[in-house]
Structure 1
Amino acid sequence: MSQHKQERAVRTRERLLRAAAEVFDTTGYAGASISRILERAGLTAGAMYFHFKSKEDLARAVILEQAADLDFPETESGLQQLLDMTGYLAVELKTNTLLRAGVRLAVEQNEVGLQEYSIYEWWIDRFRQELVQAREKGQLHPFVDEADFARVVVGAFTGTQIMSQVSSDRANLPELIAAMWRCLLPALAPADVVETLVIPAGGTAGTG
């Protein structure tokens, strides 16, 4: 394949992915149709099936590539970075269509038989990396297991964003994530460490 054709193929796939994210974000997997996705993308069925075998294959791509547009803030590594990452995600979920669609599909996937857990493993490992940094900086309680707590954070964030979506279309998500951290941080770090941290949308962690 020539470079020109390769570049065109990459652009076509990107158009399909973005169009699918917009449709899945609006209707969910069950309400989305291939014809509506193609209409949104302005492409033919042939173009789609060159890249994706089915609607399920396309949905899986949206799930797995949900973080493609993210540009995490680079702050102090460890707990502050973890707090800033989740605060950033809380804001991004209001406007980032690819992220929002990928998260919606990941949550709803059991209803449609997708069974794609690897994206949760990716987030768990991403958060675990910051907890490992926190351990190296002496920020964690001795009994904290980084991998276990990373799973707790992913589960808590997922549940909190679902509640926020239902209650306010995620308008209150930053505040709910801040409240989540005020509950979790004492189990993660000593009080003198917590007092040095700033929770996005929640002020200084040690002040409640």
Structure 2
Amino acid sequence: MTRPKQERAVRTREAILTAAAEVFDEYGYSAAGVSKILQRAGVTQGAMYFHFKSKEDLGRAVLVEQAATLALPDEPAGLQQLVDLTLYLGFELQRNVLLRAGVRLAVEQGEAGLRDFTVYRWWIDRFRADLDAAERRGELLPQVDGAEFARILVASFTGTQLMSHLENERQDLPAQIATLWNYLLPGIATPATLARLTVDVERGRAML
């Protein structure tokens, strides 16, 4: 009996988290009432509060777990993988509601009252892993600081996706990310590396 109960609890939590992500994505944190989330999830208030103490706790879970359903590479592999990864994220933001809602909450943290840098730090560290691998492979120019550039990349990606969202609901996001890399890469990659790198949105689509 214990295992079925545990599995049911996991499914219930996932249903609540998905419903919350959908509502946060559609309405924003402030307008996302708990009743809307409960109705979307098809669960009782008691079931929600068993897993999440408050709307703020639920918002924090969506924020922190935004990457939970992504198929990220297991090991860092340098600049080509980093480029492909960001293009893949561009496509995921078009279809993955948990990622999309998590990103929205990350941007709107002041409104949500969360003020949590954890998810930004996570993405900085994730991007830096590929940059560290690139440095070991001799792909970076000598003056490039991987930690510094990882932070710049997260900031640039965040701004690019926000502008794409406001302009056309992220329809052109992968193309905009490709354009971003076309300007960034000459400033960080060695000439030999730059010559063999491919900035192609189809490589990101292939990771879906």
TM-score range, shorter chain: over 0.9
Residue of structure 1 in register with 2:3 after alignment: 3
Q: CA deviation at 1:74?
A: 7.3
1:124-180 Cα distance to aligned partner (Å, 9 max, x none): 000000001000100001111111110010000000000000111100111110111
* 2-structure distance, mates of 1:111, 1:19: 20
Letter of the structure 1 residue corresponding to residue 53 of structure 2: K
Letter of the structure 2 residue corresponding to residue 40 of structure 1: R
| Percentage of pairs with the same residue | 57
Residue of structure 1 in register with 2:149 after alignment: 149
Aligned partners of 2:76 and 2:129 also within 8 Å: no
- Say whether 1:71 aligns with 2:68: no
* 1-structure distance, mates of 2:54, 2:10: 18
1:1-208 mapped onto 2 (5 Å cutoff):
2-72=2-72, 77-201=77-201
* 2-structure distance, mates of 1:199, 1:73: 18
Q: CA deviation at 1:202?
A: 8.6
- The ranges of structure 1 where at least 4 consecutive aligned residues each deviate by more than 4 angstroms after the TM superposition are 73-76
* 2-structure distance, mates of 1:15, 1:166: 28
1:1-56 Cα distance to aligned partner (Å, 9 max, x none): 92222211111111100000110110010110000000000000000000101111
Letter of the structure 2 residue corresponding to residue 153 of structure 1: L
* 1-structure distance, mates of 2:6, 2:202: 46
Aligned partners of 1:78 and 1:131 also within 8 Å: yes
* 1-structure distance, mates of 2:48, 2:73: 34
Q: Which one scores higher on RCO, CA 8 angstroms, separation ≥ 6?
A: 2
Counting matched residue pairs gives 203
Letter of the structure 2 residue corresponding to residue 65 of structure 1: E
**Structure 2: gaps spanning 5 or more residues:** 204-208
Q: CA deviation at 1:73?
A: 5.5
Structural RMSD (CA): 1.7
SS at match of 2:30: helix
TM-score for both structures, normalised by structure 1: 0.93
TM-score for both structures, normalised by structure 2: 0.93
* 2-structure distance, mates of 1:56, 1:180: 34
